[in-house]
Chains A and B, each alone.
Chain A
């Protein structure tokens, strides 16, 4: 099962699609870890301990990938043979470029003003923007993978700016 399963969805007992039941994801993940986690094999043979570490690592990888919408979508596209290529394909529509410039500026202004509330506000703005994009993903992945890949690139970008904002907040709070 661990290694027979040919993708993360199969491993975690979920249908291969963007919309998932997060409760099932969570509970199946826990069921699998209850079987394979290294804590269950402390007194076992080295072969079993190695197997356990690999299986538990794989279960964590699968769970993390499916838990987050961006990585879940990216993974679904990979299963169709489509790489999202965030690093090399940086072409974005003009309206999104405008939006990201505004975010960057807002971030820098708030950083200079040490304004945590403004940064928090920016975070929630980006979160809402990301949510709006996610609603069209399920359909796009199936019917228009190239558009879906573009959305994933946008979401990755939002994730990255959000992480930068989080980092600034935690530095300001020190």
Chain B
């Protein structure tokens, strides 16, 4: 038997050991965490054997926070302090939530009408980002316990149809939970990865994803490990919750018809009836009728029988509502029904028989359901997390995703000028030139919106910023180039530059949805215990972690492609490396930041050369005459 190797204490055994990376499905109703174990994507369970963590957070009287089953169990008793379906509120302002009369929380508007709403709880005002962070923290704890170490990073899934504000809010929640986000991944794409790899499929697939609160439709082409999204569409405010709500309204009608009682329900009763409605919906998946029996707080007994056919009737308009985005996606992908090789159902709500029938009827084929619709997204996210963390050496998986919504600017008269059309493959950059309207104009206001409608007022406002310092010129004389960049997470940044006379006014804007960097820092600070709250110690630790990540990345690159550099160039980079390593032994976080930046800067040309070399190699075998133009 070979002798076991034991490394010296404090030294890592291997420079590139298996990184602990997870995929997280942060769902409206339930959340999951999965990872790759012995080559298989596996959902991690809690100590009671539960894979699903109900996405419910309760603020307890003793100051503690309960998440999951424990919170769910108290939901009817403590509805105001028990927050469910928080995903529907992510990045949303109070005026975005149209149906709040039936949601038993005490909503408070954000600082202005555009910014994210808050909820009044006994633990104080909480915003959806903080509440989501509690769910993510619980999953992080579960994963670290199961894997026995600190996580390197996570892939977190979001509905494909999430806009910039909703994506940004999700990323902020992860940061608040102490998770390093490797990538935000669209849920249907994650499902396609799990499904495609499991079945070794090739061809064109539709992913129909109806979750608790969101609906997505994505059409992908699967070919030799490349998952190319052809089109995506959806409704970020349509899901299984809406079906519950239809039953809830039906129960109310029954109660009123029987008792002539029209008093509004209190929060406990609202929550109780919503829970009964959800149970009835689930029961009707395999049964012809559901008995609904419960006692309201005033002692009134509710008894009703809901038949499957009544349920189908009540929710028919919701089912039809999912087909409109489906048709749009098919049209955008320029496909007809015969082109589709398979339809995959994702999300617990697709268990409802009326959904299966509608999908089967539309696509004229039986949908594929061989992977658990509740787990498939998390399983796919884990596969992608494993790839991104660098654990998979056979690089044969590539996801090419798209931006779900068009991006534009406000022009004269409140109209939208589209800059980036929906379903553009990411990452993408588009530049557009603008000029001044008046003589001597020195500033310009730029309003960025997202959506498909012609009027600014019908689209979502992402950012407003002013470009100042334009040299005074005659109207139409200035040349202002505005560049929009959407990265692989689907997040936008905008930069503007005045380019006449060599005068430059340059700004880079990240859209905000109501949470400023300061607000996030404050939440971060308060979320750490007193022992950890020492700002400087925290800053130093972060600086060292970042520096070590950088050193690691550059040493790997040097080992692999050092030959692309001259001896002098190599020595220059190695000197910067050594300087940073020395500083990491010290206490000066500012100096570590500076040395990290210097090192990064020193490797820019190296990075470009490596990129060129790898592309050249990939296209090798091509006719060289066509390459060297």
- Given contacts A42-B389, A45-B553, A170-B328, whether A57 and B226 have CB atoms under 8 Å apart is no
> Whole-angstrom distance from the CB of B419 to the nearest CB of chain A?
14
Chain B residues in 8 Å Cβ range of A40: 395
Residue-by-residue, is B593-615 near A (CB-CB < 8 Å gives 1, otherwise 0)?
00000011101101110111111
* A interface residues, tally (CB under 8 Å): 48
A43 interface contact, C-beta 8 A: yes
- Our pick among B182, B398, B429, B629 for the contact of A34 (Cβ within 8 Å) is B398
Is B295 in the interface zone, CB < 8 Å from A? no
* Chain A residues, Cβ within 8 Å of B426: 60
- Residues on A with C-beta less than 8 A from B591 are none
Option from A7, A32, A174 in Cβ contact (under 8 Å) with B615: A32
Could you tell me which residues of chain A, from 1 to 15, have a CB within 8 Å of some CB in chain B?
1-7, 9-10, 13-15
The residue from B182, B600, B615, B626 contacting A15, defined by CB atoms under 8 A apart = B626
Looking at A39, A64, A169, A174, which has the most chain B CB atoms within 10 Å of its CB?
Answer: A39
| Given A46-B600, A55-B611, A60-B425, A38-B629 contact (CB < 8 Å) | no
Contact across chains for A57 and B182 when beta carbons are under 8 A apart: no
Name the CB-closest residue of A to B430.
A61
Kindly state whether residue A95 has any CB partner on chain B within 8 Å: no
Of the candidates A31, A42, A55, A174, which one forms a contact with B619 in the assembled complex, judged by CB atoms under 8 Å apart? A31
In the complex, the answer to whether A10 meets B611 with C-beta atoms within 8 Å is: no
Q: Name the contact of B611 in the complex, choosing from A2, A43, A57, A60 (C-beta under 8 A).
A: A2
| A38-B557 contact, Cβ under 8 Å, with A7-B629, A51-B611 | no
A71 at the A/B interface (Cβ < 8 Å)? no
Q: What does the 1/0 interface line of B376-409 toward A look like (CB < 8 Å)?
A: 0000000010011110000100111000000000
Contact B608 A51 (CB under 8 A): yes
What are the residues of chain A within 8 A of B626 when measuring CB–CB? 9-10, 13-15
Contacts of A4 in B (CB 8 A): 612
Contacts of A2 in B (CB 8 A): 608, 611-612, 615
Residues of chain A lying within 8 A (CB to CB) of residue B603: 45, 47-48
Identify the interface centre among A7, A46, A169, A173: most chain B CB within 10 Å of its CB: A46
B488 touches A39 (CB 8 A): yes
Q: Do A39 and B398 contact each other (CB < 8 Å), given the known contacts A52-B611, A170-B327? A: yes
- Pick from A13, A53, A166: contact of B488, CB below 8 A: A53
B273 at the interface (CB under 8 A from A): no
| Chain B residues with CB below 8 A from A9, complex form | 626, 629
Q: Which of B224, B384, B428, B614 contacts A36 (CB 8 A)?
A: B614
Given contacts A34-B398, A174-B324, contact A48 B607 (CB under 8 A): yes
Q: Any chain A CB within 8 A of the CB of B102?
A: no
CA distance A96 to B338 in the complex (A): 35
Cβ–Cβ contact B398 & A30, under 8 A: yes
Interfacial residues, chain B to chain A (CB-CB below 8 A): 153, 182-183, 224, 226, 324, 327-328, 331, 384, 387-390, 395, 398-400, 424-429, 485, 487-488, 549-550, 552-554, 557, 599-601, 603-604, 606-608, 610-619, 622-623, 626-629
Return 27 A-B CB contacts under 8 Å, by A number: A1-B615, A7-B629, A9-B626, A10-B629, A13-B627, A16-B629, A28-B619, A28-B622, A31-B618, A33-B400, A34-B398, A39-B399, A39-B488, A42-B183, A42-B390, A43-B390, A45-B557, A45-B600, A45-B607, A47-B600, A48-B607, A48-B611, A51-B608, A51-B610, A53-B487, A57-B429, A173-B327
